[in-house]
Structure 1
Amino acid sequence: MRLAGEQKVTHLGTSPRYLHELQKNNIRPRDITDLSNLEVVTSTGMVLSDALFEWFYDHGFPAKVQLANISGGTDIAGTFGTANALMPVYVGGCQGPSLGTPIAVYDQTLEGGKGVKGVPVGEGTPGELVATAAFPNMPVMFWGERGAERYFDAYFARFDDVWTHGDFIIIHPITKQIFFLGRADGVLNPSGVRFGSSEIYSILENKFANEISDSICVGQRRPRDSDETVMLFLLMRPGVQFTQKLVDDVKAAIKSGLSARHVPKYVFETPEIPTTVNLKKVELPVKQIVSGKVIKPSGTLANPQSLDFYYQFAEVEKLVAPRSKL
């Protein structure tokens, strides 16, 4: 932030994790450097919570600064949901798609594959983010061995003739703003109720910021399971105890803020949240591990050893004390 002030930066790109660390340590950028030239701050890499939005509007940046959340985990993602000077600003979501970027929301429940045409869903219904035609910063392939093949598999293998980006989103039927609910491969689906992990994180960040430092929410579905079970892992702040009362309060807040069907079946304490080198938490490896798979950690993980903790939860029934039948 000091560098941004020294260089008189007008447009700054950052990540929710970096902003979260500033907030957690009560570091207010406008108090440590001259940000009078700063006009826009854009955030990408993961969903930016309402609580972070509000804190930085109230305390972090000069009042004139526009803070915008853009999508996903790559530079390409800013194409799909970003600030748009032609549209009004509403709290909680992106203003809309960038100019020249044709997007749609497809039914996320469809099993993709060669020859499968996606089915659009209406505004107000969550689903898979796709681009229905070419967009200005669309790459032509990946570098390296099998670059064209890997590129096709990453973005075009799910639905014919569209770019499938891998984000789970919803378009507001009135404001037309885009809400990013999480990565599509991390969508939670207990008993057919589909929702993004960011909905859980938003409750925790708004209600339990003083007790919980971070969290990770994943679905467990082992080969023997007929349904998915939601697991929530909490990283406590230093000096704060993980208690049954906290678990009950968390579940009650999720039920009140979302619904009874959003409440995780299991809530556990964790010593560490797996993150990438740029501090983005990664859900998919944890989901795979608790679902009974043994995985090779990605080279992008900053703390691959943190995954070892989660293997025990593949047999979660052995960790939970049996309840009396009386």
Structure 2
Amino acid sequence: MQHGARAVLYDGSPFQPDLQTFVRLVGDQKVTNLGISPRYMHELQKANVAPREITDLSSLRSVSSTEMVLSDPLFEWFYDVGFPSTTHLCNISGGTDLAGCFAMENPMTPVYVGGCQGPSLGIKVEVYDQLVEGGKGVKGKPVEEGVPGELVATEAFPNMPVMFWNDEGGQRYFDAYFARFDNVWTHGDFILVHPVTGGITFLGRADGVLNPSGVRFGSAEIYSVVEAHFPQIADSICVGQRRPDDADESVMLFLHLKPGEKFTRALVADVKEAIGRELSKRHVPKWVFETPAIPTTVNLKKVELPVKQIVSGKVIKPSGTLLNPESLDYYYQFAKVEELDQPKSKL
């Protein structure tokens, strides 16, 4: 018996000429395994597009998503409105590059909404305490299930790369993945393992973890609350501010409103109240501001790190991967947030 497979590659914007064109392509080509981005699904959700009502998706078995963390509302939309109930959704990482190999679907375990089923087969995934700084010869400290921490692989895995191109001696490769913990691959994602289901939830990139007063959490937790309760907010970005003279980190939340919506004291109060209710009082941002634009990559992934660096007092050179590098200019004023005429979030 012979088995074969066919790859369908789409080069271009999935939003052109309209939001339904790419969905119809998936049905026409009888795609079985589809890889898309959370931003694409978010746009479908905002436009009330239901892919399963547009075309025949009976061949589709699995949808994998990467580049950013999937919010709970997107998971719910996927199963309630978006795709056939026989299709499995997996958010394979909060990052990019090799993340898909660490956590994804597993045909031998149940599916629970809200995260990946568990670690990929053949990969020794563990979660290390992020407070351990690491360094040459340092051993990492595993955390208990349910406690967020650093995604690591403590054994070699089948698709682990062995080098970078043009990296003579392998120093860049070592610094990228092995410099923090002795003989352990450190991937750079912030995750937790569910203590009951064993599922893995990606909370964001490790370098974007928020840490006010020693309470560590991912920006994706804030985004989930905003997306679930505030339809008037088109998008948001949440970062930590810690300037050289700051004794602690402060959390800043920037809201990009839909056209015609107003940024008001009442909205700020409602956002803070919802975050405190859904998460905890210690998750509530110290500052909440309106922003005219969210910086994104050309793939429409929001980028937190440059904003974090800017509000913490650094001057940066925008990456060539940014779609709207000029949007960063707006955030420089918040490095001196106490000097603004109307710091609108201390309400």
TM-score between both structures, scaled by the size of structure 2: 0.90
Equivalent residue for 2:83, pick from 61, 65, 72: 61
Q: One-letter code of the match for 2:68?
A: M
Question: Which 10-residue stretch deviates more, 22-31 or 230-239?
Answer: 22-31
Question: Is 1:129 the equivalent of 2:151?
Answer: yes
Percent identity (aligned): 73
Equivalent positions of 1:129-208 (< 5 A) are: 129-146=151-168, 148-208=170-230
Residues 70 and 322 of structure 1, relative CA distance in 2, 3 Å threshold: closer
Alignment-derived partner of residue 83 in structure 1: 105
CA–CA distance in structure 1, aligned partners of residues 128 and 314 of structure 2: 29
- Alpha-carbon contact 1:102-1:135 (below 8 Å) kept: yes
Alignment-derived partner of residue 32 in structure 1: 54
SS at match of 2:190: strand
SS at match of 2:204: strand
Alignment-derived partner of residue 251 in structure 1: 272
SS at match of 2:150: strand
Q: One-letter code of the match for 1:52?
A: L
CA–CA distance in structure 2, aligned partners of residues 80 and 48 of structure 1: 16
Question: Is 1:317 the equivalent of 2:338?
Answer: yes
Q: One-letter code of the match for 1:154?
A: A
Residues 84 and 73 of structure 1, relative CA distance in 2, 3 Å threshold: same
- Alpha-carbon contact 1:141-1:147 (below 8 Å) kept: no
- Cα deviation per residue 1:41-79 (whole Å; 9 max; x = unaligned)? 111111111100111211111222111111133242111
Equivalent residue for 2:310, pick from 289, 292, 306: 289
Alignment-derived partner of residue 227 in structure 1: 248
- Alpha-carbon contact 1:216-1:283 (below 8 Å) kept: yes
Question: Is 1:9 the equivalent of 2:13?
Answer: no
- TM-superposed CA distance for 1:277, in Å, is 1.2
CA–CA distance in structure 1, aligned partners of residues 169 and 82 of structure 2: 42
Q: State the superposition RMSD in angstroms.
A: 1.4
How many pairs does the alignment contain? Answer: 322
CA–CA distance in structure 2, aligned partners of residues 320 and 176 of structure 1: 49
CA–CA distance in structure 1, aligned partners of residues 260 and 136 of structure 2: 53
SS at match of 1:122: coil
- Alpha-carbon contact 1:107-1:118 (below 8 Å) kept: yes
- TM-superposed CA distance for 1:147, in Å, is 7.9
Alignment-derived partner of residue 324 in structure 2: 303
Equivalent residue for 2:298, pick from 277, 288, 292: 277
Q: One-letter code of the match for 2:190?
A: F
- Cα deviation per residue 1:238-293 (whole Å; 9 max; x = unaligned)? 11111110000000000001111110000000111111111111111100000000
SS at match of 1:72: coil
Runs of 4+ in structure 1 deviating by more than 6 angstroms, as ranges, are none
Alignment-derived partner of residue 118 in structure 1: 140
Equivalent residue for 2:285, pick from 235, 242, 264: 264
Q: One-letter code of the match for 1:261?
A: R
SS at match of 2:210: coil
Q: One-letter code of the match for 2:141?
A: V
Q: One-letter code of the match for 2:48?
A: N
